[in-house]
Amino acid sequence: MSSARCVQSEFCRERSYENTGLDLNFCYSMPQFSALENDLPACCNSKTNTNSLNSVPRLHFRDYIWAYTERYLAIEAMEEAAAAMMVGERNEVKEEEGSDGMKLVQQLIACAEAVACRDKTHASALLSELRAKALPRKPPWPTTSPPSNNRCRKLGERLRAIGDELDSYARSLGLNFEFLWVESCLENLKPKHFKLHDGEVVIINSILHLHCVVKESRGALNSVLQILHELSPKLLILVEQDSSHNGPFFLGRFMEALHYYSAIFDSLDAMLPKYDTRRAKIEQFFFAEEIKNIISCEGPARVERHERVDQWRRRLSRAGFQPAPIKMIMQAKQWLGKAKVCDGYTVTEEKGCLVLGWKSKPIIAVSCWKCS
């Protein structure tokens, strides 16, 4: 018997429906059929010593169904075991990554302690070890170049384009609009730069900028706040990082920055893939520059002087401002829920301020103020 088709012809003599079903579904080569025989019951495997074709036992359709069911269950069990093995391997990888992360944090803290103790030899050795582990190979995303002077020269053109866009939008709403930008740093601002008209309502929106004026002498920020108060704004909106990166001691600033930016990078992990180009630009040109300024700069060169909400509250109160209630906390929570950004982000109210955090770690604080 050279093929299953010979067996098929023998089974088809009675022309039963069961054999017809077998006729259509089991036209396999002989080696496959021989393998199937090993899975059948013992009563189906009995053979006589005669060479007659009639000595082959008749296999009913239910016997094949039983055999293939057993084989299917065996394959399914093997697949489940393989899946369980893969899950175990992934958990082991995650545990290894978590262990590597803890080792990295411990090395960073040890390096910071060595710097604080002015132990240059130990600090240099730890830095060399950290560099060796930081990027063992070139990152798959292309290295981006920092903004050039040509881009900086185009700032005026971009501001002009923004003004034109805002002007067209205001006209569509039937509003009179005038866009004016002042080419001056905050410390040199004067009320005359704004060219205000009588009866105009002034609203100041300061986003992640006032902390750059915080100096060790405190005089620069006080003068800027005094100028802003002279404008008699109807409302002052202040958005700042809710963290203490303005301490006088290096180790304290380092530990605060370590916890703060760890939360930020965790949120980036949840939002963007590891090698996303947008994420690379954010990390390289924004957060990396902030961290370097906080850690490695002193005196006037250190401009990233983030402070807590309570410190801003005291500064603005001394400058003649008083808190204005924020009535959009519920709307902010609803928007965060509808946007489905990520489960880790939180919005809370802290003494009249709106605080955006990551897993209960404050990141950004928004507060509103008006003249006393």
What pTM value is reported for the model?
Answer: 0.64
Burial letters 243-277, b for 16+ CB under 10 A, else e: bbbbeeebeebbbbbbebbebbeebbeeeeeeeee
Q: Quick: pLDDT tens for 27-55.
A: 434 444 444 444 444 444 444 444 444 55
Residue 170: name the closest of 159, 157, 179 by CA: 179
Q: Where do the domains of the chain lie? A: 74-130, 145-181, 185-249+304-371
Instruction: Of 22-26, 81-85, 260-264, 271-275, give the lowest mean pLDDT range.
Output: 22-26
Locate tokens 């006037």: which residue?
Answer: 300
3-state secondary structure of 3: strand
For residue 110, the model assigns a pLDDT of 82
The pLDDT assigned to 47 comes to 45
Rounded CA-CA distance 260/255 in Å is 9
In tens, the pLDDT along 125-184 reads 887 887 776 655 444 444 445 544 454 456 667 778 888 888 899 899 988 888 887 777
